Structure 1
């Protein structure tokens, strides 16, 4: 799983100058890459994102329940994992990730994902028990107030898309509109028009109103994990909008976090929730440590690095030796392990990540299906001879894949570093058939003026496939290396049929490759001239 080890230098490579062009040998092992299982996870994400609206196949039993099982968390964690890979591992291959994140954003706006808020907004339940006759009136709009357990993911997902691709799509008025389709209930069919600026203003107002303690998820319950997503969304929003909202919120929120003891120093765990009416924290064992720590690390890394070892020691060994029974109440061992695996991946504890993933590969019945690798929901062993353990859809589809995909400090870099403007003019690959090949490497090293590409055979088992290289400087010849060996030098207007390379004038470079075996390619700006006869 090399993607967890080889990332800190990427930004420097993207912005460096051309001083070493053509002057040093390029070792593809110096660059981050994805292994077969990581590519399989991404294929599974893509498959789930392409399902028809309202089709939640392979995603478990709950859509918008208020535990840890709602589909919104699967969609969001898949989105964040894909974004981390895009930024940290394969920055020169955008189309798969941009399409995937865009489709997940469509799914996050589906009524099934947020339609329960009309009941949840009425209060009651564990955080504020009351008889049915005393429930609040509630409201339908899932963004206007509270419910940050949904709105923060909508916001962070859209801000992530904007920060990565700078399309301006979600800055447009009404671009995050939600449709209430119920024609025979309440006000009838209704739309709630939102976009990134409108949600950002909403969050700022709520943080200020709550004296920077956070924003409640449910009435009377303010959790430590959900505001992390609002804060990360604000960091990225500031980047694209030029605002400074996050710099206002973060220090004030952190002061409240510490003064109100969101972390229980006695146990080393974060609170389960702050009860707003009672003005006190509520503690119970849960997956909140791993969840909060994963995303808080992206803006308060020193704090999380301090609390992580104790939380790891408190949870991981106990969870790895748990023999939970079928039907155990949520979140269940697999989800708790998933949260800790995510946190371990983000803080760079690869030993713990590997321990958890080895446990999952042994006990959670992973499958390879159509090139996808994942852990299907399993409610427990079917016989005494079966040594499998139950696994939630959230853990199997999203959290364990997140842990395998996210490199150490992946979210920290995504939210604190940025691609230079020149990034969008740099060479990249496109028009890849994801069924024919999986992209294991795709990065442009600006220092060496070289594009590094790695491909792995895909599930279609084709003999050959073709992809494009775009943004190559047409005024310069480029040396082509395949599997570390020099092939030829090519310039615009040339064709190397014997090597499957074509560069017609005004067109991208088109390269045909063997799709039955791994392929490594390097295209490096040539220090010399194109070879004669091209």
Structure 2
């Protein structure tokens, strides 16, 4: 303990942003799900039983990883160990056979995705060698993001991404498919080239705009680490290919998909995939994404008398018809009532499942900085979609019905409730765009101090983790989620040379000389009240 006079300057912590309770709750929920014993998927069950639909494990895991990523990059860039461990666990789950085994059956193809097909294909188990960008693209971005953020080459090493196919009762023995981040990227690029650069198929014969955004961002991060321009070269070809096909429909929404063998696009029926694409296409195509917002959003999102609502596809479609045929107001209660009445008179849909549209839209609003609409939908979720706290984590439980009798939104799926709403709260305006424009380069970890030694397993929520180079201070704010008392030992790593003082709640507890790149740790008693730890260079 320091007995001499207090060194250093008083640090105004209020100038460093801090996670609020809901943001910390979402991160805690990500941790709770990622920390389940392998084979357990509590709260992650989906409408469709074979992991083929849009709320599948892969989409939940990937979006939680992206949420952890934007938190680290934008909000707590000096907080290393908790967020790195969380992302690593999510990648581990992504490699589980439950997540990618659907592909063996899907690879058979059929006339639902390939209308001219009259017989099934011979299936294959390797989930990334061909097609299936709806899995491989997310896995590439998860591992590229991990490498870029934490300057760690773990998934760039040979065989670091391994898939073991070993069903118990069919086949001729174990098959193992070895990849790493860069060989996975090469496989994806080969598929893009095979399809004339319009993108890689998700399901057989179908190329979706949205699913090809994720590998593009991953290539950009890998370029930053490798000193290459793969993303730029691929994007030039991708944009040229879509200029010929026509990505934007007359409605302003992006086409639902492109049929490869039939060489035609399917017009959009929902804002969902457009919204999801925009949340990530804002990286490289921001002017276009932002210019299309009003045309794409109206009817699906309304703001009437200060209440923001999202509307089910058929209600939105009727709303848009009324606006276009009658020049009606885009935010009018009377128009909404008529649209709901018209939609209710339509025959019921024969499709069994509901898209996770809420999760798509909330990510889009977050990325574009549409604060009024974002806050309005978050308020709607908090008031009407059953926010639930469990073991310190915040989520919104699954509810399959699309609307109530009044036509108001009631649907909640695990993609939205576990991952997307949390992502939207943790992201910042242009969050993906800023990371695209300024990715961390190889060697970045040596350029600034970090906080290590803290883990979410300890029951500790970190609310701040910031290095201020101008002030020469490293700031950490912690609390336990349940009020228990924990002995924590945060480590300030890679400090500049000098004399460093450590303050816990403004009390000097330690002072030490540190060599260039050295570490300094301190034992801290953490409980239910926030505790602030400041490492400050004093000379």
TM-score computed with the length of structure 1 as normaliser: 0.84
> Equivalent of 2:400, from 344, 361, 379?
379
Query: How many pairs does the alignment contain?
Result: 489
Could you say if the C-alpha distance between residues 54 and 263 of structure 1 is closer, same or farther in structure 2, counting changes exceeding 3 Å?
Answer: same
**Residue 195 (structure 1) aligned with residue 207 (structure 2):** no
| Structure 1 match to 2:202 | 217
Q: Greater CA deviation, 236-245 or 436-445?
A: 236-245
| Structure 2 match to 1:127 | 113
Query: Deviations along 1:383-424, whole A, 9 cap, x unmatched?
Result: 999x99231111100111111111111112223213464544
CA contact (8 A) 1:316 1:337 kept: no
RMSD of Structure 2 on Structure 1 (CA): 3.1
Could you say if the C-alpha distance between residues 292 and 331 of structure 1 is closer, same or farther in structure 2, counting changes exceeding 3 Å?
Answer: farther
Could you say if the C-alpha distance between residues 471 and 116 of structure 1 is closer, same or farther in structure 2, counting changes exceeding 3 Å?
Answer: closer
Q: Within 5 Å, which residues of 2 pair with 1:408-423?
A: 408-419=429-440, 421=443, 423=445
**Residue 111 (structure 1) aligned with residue 97 (structure 2):** yes
| Structure 2 match to 1:499 | none
SS in 2 for 1:142: coil
| Structure 2 match to 1:307 | 292
Could you say if the C-alpha distance between residues 115 and 408 of structure 1 is closer, same or farther in structure 2, counting changes exceeding 3 Å?
Answer: same
| Structure 2 match to 1:487 | 507
**Residue 41 (structure 1) aligned with residue 64 (structure 2):** no
Could you say if the C-alpha distance between residues 382 and 285 of structure 1 is closer, same or farther in structure 2, counting changes exceeding 3 Å?
Answer: closer
**Residue 78 (structure 1) aligned with residue 98 (structure 2):** no
**Residue 179 (structure 1) aligned with residue 191 (structure 2):** no
CA distance, structure 1, for counterparts of residue 466 and residue 525 of structure 2: 18
| Structure 1 match to 2:330 | none
SS in 2 for 1:302: helix
CA contact (8 A) 1:146 1:219 kept: yes
| Structure 2 match to 1:498 | none
| Structure 1 match to 2:336 | none
* CA deviation after TM superposition for structure 1 residue 304, in Å: 1.1
CA contact (8 A) 1:172 1:195 kept: yes
* CA deviation after TM superposition for structure 1 residue 218, in Å: 1.5
| Structure 2 match to 1:283 | 267
| Structure 2 match to 1:143 | 128
* CA deviation after TM superposition for structure 1 residue 452, in Å: 2.0
Could you say if the C-alpha distance between residues 352 and 331 of structure 1 is closer, same or farther in structure 2, counting changes exceeding 3 Å?
Answer: farther
Could you say if the C-alpha distance between residues 382 and 259 of structure 1 is closer, same or farther in structure 2, counting changes exceeding 3 Å?
Answer: closer
Could you say if the C-alpha distance between residues 161 and 473 of structure 1 is closer, same or farther in structure 2, counting changes exceeding 3 Å?
Answer: closer
CA distance, structure 1, for counterparts of residue 524 and residue 248 of structure 2: 55
| Structure 2 match to 1:532 | none
Could you say if the C-alpha distance between residues 64 and 240 of structure 1 is closer, same or farther in structure 2, counting changes exceeding 3 Å?
Answer: farther
CA distance, structure 1, for counterparts of residue 350 and residue 446 of structure 2: 49
Query: Deviations along 1:245-294, whole A, 9 cap, x unmatched?
Result: 11111122122223311111x20101110111221110132310111101
| Structure 1 match to 2:475 | 452
CA contact (8 A) 1:82 1:101 kept: yes
Query: Deviations along 1:186-223, whole A, 9 cap, x unmatched?
Result: 33321111111211211222222222111111222111
| Structure 2 match to 1:366 | 387
CA distance, structure 1, for counterparts of residue 496 and residue 251 of structure 2: 62
SS in 1 for 2:161: coil
Could you say if the C-alpha distance between residues 407 and 255 of structure 1 is closer, same or farther in structure 2, counting changes exceeding 3 Å?
Answer: same
CA distance, structure 1, for counterparts of residue 190 and residue 486 of structure 2: 55
| Structure 2 match to 1:68 | 54
CA contact (8 A) 1:319 1:337 kept: no
Unaligned runs of 5+ in 1: 1-20, 495-505, 528-534
Q: Greater CA deviation, 245-254 or 318-327?
A: 318-327
CA distance, structure 2, for counterparts of residue 128 and residue 472 of structure 1: 55
Could you say if the C-alpha distance between residues 295 and 352 of structure 1 is closer, same or farther in structure 2, counting changes exceeding 3 Å?
Answer: same
Q: Within 5 Å, which residues of 2 pair with 1:259-298?
A: 259-264=244-249, 266-286=250-270, 287-298=272-283
| Structure 1 match to 2:524 | 512
Could you say if the C-alpha distance between residues 414 and 489 of structure 1 is closer, same or farther in structure 2, counting changes exceeding 3 Å?
Answer: same
Could you say if the C-alpha distance between residues 54 and 478 of structure 1 is closer, same or farther in structure 2, counting changes exceeding 3 Å?
Answer: same
CA contact (8 A) 1:425 1:471 kept: no
SS in 1 for 2:507: strand
CA contact (8 A) 1:263 1:271 kept: yes
* CA deviation after TM superposition for structure 1 residue 135, in Å: 1.5
CA contact (8 A) 1:319 1:336 kept: no
* CA deviation after TM superposition for structure 1 residue 319, in Å: 5.5
| Structure 2 match to 1:429 | 451
Q: Greater CA deviation, 306-315 or 279-288?
A: 306-315
CA contact (8 A) 1:365 1:388 kept: no
CA contact (8 A) 2:156 2:182 kept: yes
Q: Greater CA deviation, 320-329 or 139-148?
A: 320-329
CA distance, structure 2, for counterparts of residue 410 and residue 253 of structure 1: 23
CA contact (8 A) 2:82 2:455 kept: no
* CA deviation after TM superposition for structure 1 residue 425, in Å: 5.3
Unaligned runs of 5+ in 2: 1-6, 303-307, 313-339
* CA deviation after TM superposition for structure 1 residue 463, in Å: 3.8
SS in 1 for 2:54: coil
CA distance, structure 1, for counterparts of residue 472 and residue 496 of structure 2: 14
CA contact (8 A) 2:503 2:533 kept: yes
TM-score computed with the length of structure 2 as normaliser: 0.83
CA contact (8 A) 2:358 2:412 kept: no
CA distance, structure 1, for counterparts of residue 207 and residue 157 of structure 2: 30
CA distance, structure 1, for counterparts of residue 309 and residue 173 of structure 2: 47
| Structure 2 match to 1:526 | 538
Query: Deviations along 1:34-87, whole A, 9 cap, x unmatched?
Result: 111111111111111112222111102346432212111001111111111111
